[in-house]
Amino acid sequence: MTSVSDAVAALNAGNLIFLPTETVYGLGASASDSVAVAKVFSAKGRPHFNPLIAHVADLAIAEGLAHFDDRACALAKAFWPGPLTLVVPYRNDGQVCDLARAGLDSVAIRMPAHPLALEILRAFGGGVVAPSANRSGRPSPTRFYDAVEETGAYVAAAIDGGDCQIGLESTVVSLMDGVRYLRAGAVTRQQIEAVIGPLEGDDHDGHRSPGRLTLHYAPEAKVEINVALPEPGCAYLAFGPTNYTGPVFQLSASSDLSEAASNLFKSLRDADKLKPSKICVAPVPDEGLGEAINDRLKRASGFIG
Ligand code: TXA
Ligand code: MG
């Protein structure tokens, strides 16, 4: 198995690594190295208008990359290390290259909670950009095997960090224009508001978060959401007890939202391998973590509103 020092050597040599995190597996490169960052975009087939998240070992390194006002500091202190990405004004000193930021004057930063990610980031010292390690538009990898299947051919160092505990990408909050909740994740709106007060209106048009404009998280099979009982021939992602007699992938037998989040992408992938006529998904309540689950499901089903 690859070691932390192999991963750091790969980053320093301008090569790609897997960055195992608590949310999903990332495809990592040195944030300042535009040639390495270009390899990330091409390995994923990712459009260049969609900027990447810079991962750091601590808040001090983050403050070296970007300006953190009182609210940004309060959010970082409350939720880091953890599944919260903050979009803040970039310092413009080359530490996160233009390509990684899609030319924006802001930068997205997060400190992940996975011990191996933190070890790699501490040993490397600088920012590591890491989008989810899937090919663009596909479900994010939450198991080592899935990451290998998606982009394993492009990495010089592949660390197995086990199954991702959360299973959904980080919450993205922007502080560029008030405080806006750009992408739902394990840190809920209510948790953000408890720290810094009310959020601004939603970003319905996606213009503040370029990645939100594209079809995402989609398996090969068509996905239909909010299905109580599927027709024969479908694969079914259930949430709680079901009478369906075809192939069932249980998101959570006890209807627990955290368990469902951790099972979501791997269930989509495993269901897809059966080549069903359709993947149907049970209704999932829209509260708390359910907002993030429903966001990913709507996008997987082709709804990009
Ligand atoms: O949990 C995660 O965040 C994972 C793990 C690997 O850390 N990473 C991840 O990265 O989900 P990615 O690239 O798949 O998603 C990054 C999101 C995209 O929606 C992108 O548009 C948004 O963050 N983003 C990045 N920089 C931004 C910026 N400057 N302004 C607004 N949105 C930004
Ligand atoms: Mg992604």
Q: Whose CA is nearest to atom 20 of ligand 1?
A: 211
Please tell me the predicted confidence (pLDDT) of residue 94: 85
Q: Which residue has the tokens 């880091």?
A: 80
Cβ–ligand 1 contact at 104 (below 6 Å): yes
Query: Cis before residue 276, ω within 30 degrees of 0?
Result: no
How far does the centroid of ligand 2 lie from the alpha carbon of residue 140, in Å?
A: 6
Cβ–ligand 1 contact at 50 (below 6 Å): yes
Ligand nearest to the CA of 183: 1
Burial class (CB in 10 A: 0-12, 13-18, 19+), 292: buried
Per-residue pLDDT 10s for the chain (305 aa) are 689 999 999 999 999 999 999 999 999 999 999 999 999 999 999 999 999 999 999 999 999 999 999 999 999 999 999 999 999 999 989 899 999 999 999 999 999 999 999 999 999 999 999 999 999 999 999 999 999 999 999 999 999 999 999 999 999 999 998 999 999 999 999 999 999 999 987 655 555 677 666 567 889 999 999 999 999 999 999 999 999 999 999 999 999 999 999 999 999 999 999 999 999 999 999 999 999 999 999 999 986 55
Cβ–ligand 1 contact at 26 (below 6 Å): yes
Q: Which of 40, 53, 177, 262 to mutate to test the pocket of ligand 1 (most atoms within 8 A of CB)?
A: 53
CA–CA separation, 36 and 30 (whole Å): 7
Q: For the beta carbon of residue 198, count every other beta carbon within 10 angstroms.
A: 9
Q: Select from 136, 131, 58, 64 the least CA-distant residue to 100.
A: 131
Please tell me the predicted confidence (pLDDT) of residue 145: 97
Cβ–ligand 1 contact at 21 (below 6 Å): yes
Q: Which of 80, 209, 213 to mutate to test the pocket of ligand 1 (most atoms within 8 A of CB)?
A: 209
- Tell me the two tokens of residue 214: 């594209």
Cβ–ligand 1 contact at 209 (below 6 Å): yes
Please tell me the predicted confidence (pLDDT) of residue 2: 83
Please tell me the predicted confidence (pLDDT) of residue 247: 98
Please tell me the predicted confidence (pLDDT) of residue 290: 97
Please tell me the predicted confidence (pLDDT) of residue 213: 61
How far does the centroid of ligand 2 lie from the alpha carbon of residue 44, in Å?
A: 10
Q: How far is CA 216 from CA 59, 180, 211, 265, 279, in A?
A: 30, 21, 9, 12, 15
How far does the centroid of ligand 1 lie from the alpha carbon of residue 51, in Å?
A: 7
Please tell me the predicted confidence (pLDDT) of residue 112: 98
